[in-house]
């Protein structure tokens, strides 16, 4: 253990605590002691202080207690030839500094409420570069990634690299490994975030490059995020400091990169991070702490070359990342999924109503395809000029000893994520309504459509080893070829849907859960049955069954439906037991076939939201692609915000478009004949199915009896029209009895 590094950290602790004590005293002279303080939109108060001590800091007066606690942690100064091991005093000084930094940031937010922008991405044009502490919405959305492994950890980068290109190289190395990059502090007035922007990178939570703040004190937001994740997802209780720190050491694989001169204020922050088991790696010549102890391996490593700092950090932290290099000219990884290819960045595109873009995965026999073969039939990106469009057909053939036709739609939906993982490429939609946008930057680096096939081949092998033996990809860009593939694909889609359409809930004794959306709707548990497809429209019962066979520990788990508790409303004993556990007690029960009585929980990913229209004795539904007003008085976005957080909201329910014409759709409330309004875009899409289901229920041409926005967007506007048409809902028993 170096005496010098312990000396610097302890000196830094005294310096920071004294500075913040002064700032707090000045604030108490300027504001009333009862003035409210805290980080915006969080139930965790000042999260580091709250999680480790249980102190709830809500007013200026409350800040005195953690500052006194921090002062009490400060160890004696190191004097003379003291040969004691310095790790204990260093850790105490570091923790004192971290507490003080969190108080400092709370005081900044009090005095400068607009300093940070409270959203996922900065507003560069408005000069709002720093996002500050993540609110609880971001925590729910992103924190679960540190639990399920999709984000193995984070790099807390403080300071700045020598130049923008070096900063870009370091940050992209971490992105490729699916790590978050939490950025704070400046070196000689320059920050890594500014360097990333200079290098043309997109920053924000969506690209995992998070601009916390320009000062070393804002690094405390990274530790606060880690501790909140432990409380929210790991069940660690506030004040259980030992379990909190051990959870972070064992579960949150994080480390600090110090880029630039490490003074006493940086040293105390680094010492504080060691308490969490987070080591520091520096690009300068600072004293090292090489023996193991708190951290998995070394605590402080110096003189790390910039082109080695990523790999060295991963090694020192003991993080295991299994990534096989994919031979394409662009970076690849989940960090790029949030990128957007906007108008000024766009080189060319396929689909998105400009051309046809279709995707199809089909099972093949082992001797029919050649593993790794990728063909582009037709023009490629190099044949396009800026602004051009192309049709595109992505046809993937998979052979495997354990592969089944039921797995085809599961694999097909992976195309969306995997193409989005390519830096500079944006993918939207699925099936025959996909849309691919290619950026100028990607073209400059040599992107080819063949690279999509290379990615799909590699990732299908990596992620589905159990069922995949061979993958062959063909990409069509000629109109005739794409139209031919689209006709084939639509016939396959229809066949898949019909497999479920002929099944009933009574045919099976097992339903399936889907918990994919619990990251942002913690109490939401979607249960998928043959006659109740997933709310998002992406999963039906067959898909969930196949998903479970592929990944038995995944988000789609079997649920024995058990005893039928209410045949009409669709309530099952086994489902009640499952959802109570899966929602951690937040939800005791819900009904499959009702939106009036204890309806299923809803998340923000639902394809449609239905709402009661009491004056019309019926219901309406609205899809997320309709942005106008509705007779409920709320647009889709408002509805999703009101009841899309995992709640069971009587009078409202989320559902898929396909579910509208399934036989059990709100059957406990009267069924489809209650439908009095839906947007024209939805009605046109499912027109034939509406008429077919209506006829089964005794009403011919039922679609023509449903009002849309061309009739009106209030109950008062549509009711006379419904009366003129003789809509059956008007003569049904009251919806609310």
Spatial separation of the C-alpha atoms in residues 75 and 92, rounded to whole Å: 7
Residues 522, 140 contacting (CB under 8 angstroms): yes
Residue 680 neighbours by CB distance under 10 Å: 15
Closest CA to 50 of 249, 174, 282, 236: 236
Q: 161-180 as b/e, with b when 16 or more CB fall inside 10 Å?
A: beebebbbbbbbbbbbbbbb
CATH no. of 505-731: 3.40.1470.10
pLDDT per 10-residue tile (average), the chain, 737 residues: 71 95 96 95 94 96 97 82 62 95 97 93 92 92 79 92 96 90 96 96 94 96 94 90 91 92 90 91 83 73 92 82 74 82 91 88 90 94 94 95 84 86 86 88 95 93 83 96 94 81 90 74 86 82 84 86 94 94 88 94 82 96 88 90 80 92 95 97 92 96 97 97 97 88
Spatial separation of the C-alpha atoms in residues 251 and 246, rounded to whole Å: 8
What's the confidence (pLDDT) of residue 469? 82
Q: 396 pairs with which residues across the strands?
A: 361, 473
- Start-end of CATH 3.30.1650.10 domains in the chain: 339-500
What's the confidence (pLDDT) of residue 354? 85
Spatial separation of the C-alpha atoms in residues 408 and 412, rounded to whole Å: 6
- Start-end of CATH 1.10.8.190 domains in the chain: 3-111
Give me 77's structure tokens. Answer: 């100064």
Give me 491's structure tokens. Answer: 């016939």
What's the confidence (pLDDT) of residue 323? 47
Residues 108, 132 contacting (CB under 8 angstroms): no
Give burial (CB, 10 Å; 0-12/13-18/19+) of 693. buried
What's the confidence (pLDDT) of residue 604? 66
What's the confidence (pLDDT) of residue 83? 46
- Maximum CA pair distance of the chain? 97
Give burial (CB, 10 Å; 0-12/13-18/19+) of 673. buried
What's the confidence (pLDDT) of residue 359? 95
Closest CA to 398 of 460, 455, 484: 460
The structure tokens 């007779």 sit at 631
What's the confidence (pLDDT) of residue 84? 47
Helices 3-30 + 87-111 axis angle, to 10? 30
Cα→Cα distances 351→80, 262, 388, 657, 671, Å: 73, 51, 12, 22, 36
Q: Which fold has domain 136-218+233-317?
A: Rossmann fold (3.40.50)
Residues 138, 120 contacting (CB under 8 angstroms): yes
Alpha helices in 252-402 (DSSP H): 264-274, 309-317
- Start-end of CATH 3.40.1470.10 domains in the chain: 505-731
Residues 189, 196 contacting (CB under 8 angstroms): no
Residue 737 neighbours by CB distance under 10 Å: 5
Report how far Cα 589 is from the mean position of its chain's Cα atoms: 27
The structure tokens 């499959």 sit at 592
Give me 517's structure tokens. Answer: 């959306």
Q: What are phi and psi of 489, to 5 degrees?
A: -65, -45
Spatial separation of the C-alpha atoms in residues 543 and 527, rounded to whole Å: 13
3-state helix, strand, coil in the chain (%, to 5): 40, 15, 40
Give me 727's structure tokens. Answer: 């809509």
Residue 645 neighbours by CB distance under 10 Å: 19
Spatial separation of the C-alpha atoms in residues 412 and 363, rounded to whole Å: 11
Please give the full DSSP string across 66-88, using - where no structure is assigned.
HHHHHHHHPPPPP-TT--S--HH
CATH 1.10.8.190 fits 3-111, yes or no: yes
Spatial separation of the C-alpha atoms in residues 707 and 315, rounded to whole Å: 62
Spatial separation of the C-alpha atoms in residues 143 and 181, rounded to whole Å: 14
CATH architecture of 339-500: 2-Layer Sandwich (3.30)
């Amino acid at each position: 253990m170096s005496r010098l590094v312990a000396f610097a950290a302890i000196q830094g602790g005294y310096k920071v605590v004294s500075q913040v004590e002064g700032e707090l005293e000045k604030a108490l002279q300027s504001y009333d002691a009862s003035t409210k303080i805290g980080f915006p939109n969080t139930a965790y108060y000042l999260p580091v202080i709250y999680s480790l001590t249980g102190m709830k800091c809500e007013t200026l007066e409350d800040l005195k207690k953690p500052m006194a606690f921090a002062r009490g942690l400060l160890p004696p100064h190191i004097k003379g030839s003291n040969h004691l091991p310095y790790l204990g005093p260093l850790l105490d000084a570091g923790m004192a500094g971290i507490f003080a930094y969190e108080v400092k940031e709370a005081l900044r937010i009090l005095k400068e409420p607009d300093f940070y922008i409270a959203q996922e991405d900065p507003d560069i044009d408005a000069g709002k570069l720093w996002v500050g502490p993540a609110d609880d919405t971001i925590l729910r959305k992103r924190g679960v990634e540190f639990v399920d492994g999709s984000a193995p950890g984070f790099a807390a980068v403080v300071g700045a690299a020598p130049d923008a290109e070096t900063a870009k190289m370091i940050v992209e190395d971490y992105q490729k490994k699916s790590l978050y990059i939490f950025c704070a502090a400046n070196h000689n007035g320059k920050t890594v975030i500014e360097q990333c922007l200079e290098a043309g990178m997109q920053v924000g939570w969506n690209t995992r490059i998070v601009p916390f703040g320009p000062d070393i004190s804002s690094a405390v937001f990274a530790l606060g995020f880690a501790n909140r994740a432990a409380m929210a997802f790991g069940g660690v209780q506030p004040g259980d400091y030992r379990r909190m720190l051990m959870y972070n050491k064992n579960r949150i694989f994080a480390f600090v990169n110090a880029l630039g001169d490490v003074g006493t204020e940086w040293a105390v922050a680094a010492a504080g991070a060691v308490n969490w088991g987070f080591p520091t790696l520096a690009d300068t010549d600072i004293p090292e702490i090489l023996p193991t102890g708190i951290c998995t391996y070394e605590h402080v490593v110096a003189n790390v070359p910039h082109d080695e700092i990523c790999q060295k950090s991963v090694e020192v932290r003991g993080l295991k990342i299994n990534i096989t290099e994919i031979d394409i000219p662009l970076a690849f990884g989940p960090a790029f999924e949030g990128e957007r290819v906007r108008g000024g960045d766009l080189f060319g595109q396929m689909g998105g109503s400009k051309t046809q873009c279709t995707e199809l995965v089909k099972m093949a026999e082992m001797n029919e395809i050649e593993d790794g073969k990728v063909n582009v039939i037709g023009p490629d990106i190099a044949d396009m000029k800026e602004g051009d469009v192309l049709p595109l057909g992505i046809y993937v053939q998979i052979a495997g000893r354990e592969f089944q036709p039921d797995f085809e739609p599961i694999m097909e939906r992976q195309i969306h994520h995997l193409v989005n993982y390519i830096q500079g490429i944006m993918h939207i939609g699925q099936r025959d309504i996909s849309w691919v946008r290619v950026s100028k930057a990607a073209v400059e680096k040599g992107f080819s459509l063949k690279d999509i096939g290379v990615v799909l081949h590699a990732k299908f092998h990596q992620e589905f080893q159990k069922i995949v033996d061979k993958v062959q990809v063909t990409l069509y860009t000629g109109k005739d070829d794409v139209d031919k593939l689209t006709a084939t694909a639509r016939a396959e889609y229809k066949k898949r849907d019909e497999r479920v359409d002929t099944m009933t809930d009574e045919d099976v004794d097992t339903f399936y859960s889907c918990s994919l959306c619990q990251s942002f709707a913690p109490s939401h548990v979607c249960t998928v049955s043959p006659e109740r497809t997933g709310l998002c429209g992406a999963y039906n019962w067959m898909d969930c069954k196949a998903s479970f066979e592929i990944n038995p520990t995944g988000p789609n788990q079997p649920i024995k439906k058990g005893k039928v508790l209410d045949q009409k409303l669709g309530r099952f004993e086994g489902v009640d037991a499952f959802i109570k556990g899966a929602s951690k007690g937040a939800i005791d029960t819900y009904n499959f076939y009702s939106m009036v009585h204890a309806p299923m929980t809803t998340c923000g990913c639902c394809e449609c939201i239905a709402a009661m229209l009491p004056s019309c004795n019926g219901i309406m539904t609205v899809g997320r692609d309709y942005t106008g007003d509705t007779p409920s008085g709320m647009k889709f976005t408002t509805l999703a915000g009101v009841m899309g957080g995992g709640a069971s909201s009587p009078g409202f329910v989320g559902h898929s478009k396909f579910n509208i014409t399934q036989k059990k759709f709100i059957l406990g409330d009267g069924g489809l004949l209650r439908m009095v309004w839906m947007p024209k875009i939805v009605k046109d899409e499912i027109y034939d199915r509406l008429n077919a289901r209506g006829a089964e229920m005794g009403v011919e041409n039922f679609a023509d009896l449903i009002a849309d926005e061309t009739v009106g967007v209030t109950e008062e506007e549509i009711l006379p029209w419904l009366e003129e048409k003789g809509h059956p809902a008007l003569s049904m028993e009251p919806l609310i009895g």
